[in-house]
Amino acid sequence: TVIFDMDGLLIDSEPHWHEAANETLQYYNKKLTTEMYTKTIGLRTREFITYWFQYFNLPEMEMAFAERKILESVTEKIKRRPNIMPAVPYIFNFFKERNFKIGIASSSPANIIELVMQLCNISAIVDAFVSAEGMQYGKPHPQVYLECAEKLTASPNECICFEDSFNGMIAVKAARMKCVLVPSLAYIKDPRWAAADLKIASLQNFNDLHLNMF
């Protein structure tokens, strides 16, 4: 069984989320630097908003509006500029050819996951997807990965998971699954990635030698 994260891994959507966050924060004369934004990659939108509204001491009553604006903006940006990672067809065909069950476990809402699967042309080969949006816990909690494994009728120790963020990596390891980390090239030397079972520069680099490690 193989389970994929989505944002930053299958599509280069993190710039969309960052742009949408700053467009929304402009209402309050606030802005996130790249370093600031990176700290909260992998969180659900509501947790993201809660974190930065508390950081900037912004009114709690505005958080629902900000969350809605970000989600609307990101959806439109993905439709206009999908930015699909070039290795997506390769990695999904790789596992399909080897008869793996394939899942997606994402912090994004279900409608965005479905949109991305359509844009990536992988809807027909994804056996199950799970959104952490409505769950009690989001990443770095393992719930979204455990529920995806359950939908795929797989034991956690049978799962290989692909992630690109620190919060996602922690979620995978907490679920007792194997983690393949594909970080942004700007952060590929981050020592925190040592917790992953394997670190590669691109999905295109994963091959049978890597698979046999597990």
pLDDT per position as a tens digit, 53-87: 999 999 999 999 999 999 999 999 999 999 999 99
pLDDT band at 115; cut points 50, 70, 90: very high
Query: What integer pLDDT is reported at residue 37 of this predicted model?
Result: 92
Q: What token pair was written down for 92?
A: 């999904």
Strand 102-106: give its sheet, edge to edge: 128-131, 102-106, 2-4, 160-163, 178-181, 198-199
Phi/psi class of residue 154: alpha, beta or left (left: φ > 0; alpha: ψ in -120 to 50)?
beta
Query: Mean pLDDT in the chain?
Result: 95
Name the band, by pLDDT with cuts 50, 70 and 90, for residue 124.
Answer: very high
Instruction: State the pLDDT at residue 149.
Output: 98
Q: What is d(CA 202, CA 86) in angstroms, rounded to the nearest whole number?
A: 9
Q: Are 21 and 53 contacting, i.e. CB atoms less than 8 angstroms apart?
A: no
Query: pTM of the predicted model, to two decimals?
Result: 0.90
Nearest to 198 by CA among 172, 118, 17: 172
Judged by average pLDDT, the poorest of 59-63, 165-169, 186-190 is 186-190
Contact criterion met (CB below 8 Å) for 74 and 114: no
Does 187 score more than 90 pLDDT? no
Q: In the prediction, which pLDDT does 198 show?
A: 97
* One-character DSSP codes across 60-127: GGGHHHHHHHHHHHHHHHHHH---B-TTHHHHHHHHHHTT--EEEEESS-HHHHHHHHHHHT-TTT--
Task: Give strand pairing partners of 130.
Answer: 105
Say yes or no to pLDDT of 134 above 90: no
Cis ω before 82 (30° cut-off from 0) = no
For 34, residues 6+ apart whose C-beta sits below 8 A from its C-beta are 18
**pLDDT value at 151 more than 90:** yes
Total Cβ atoms within 10 A of residue 153: 11
Active-site residues, by number, are 5, 7
pLDDT digits (tens, 9 = 90+) for 5-48: 999 999 999 899 999 999 999 999 999 999 999 889 888 899 99
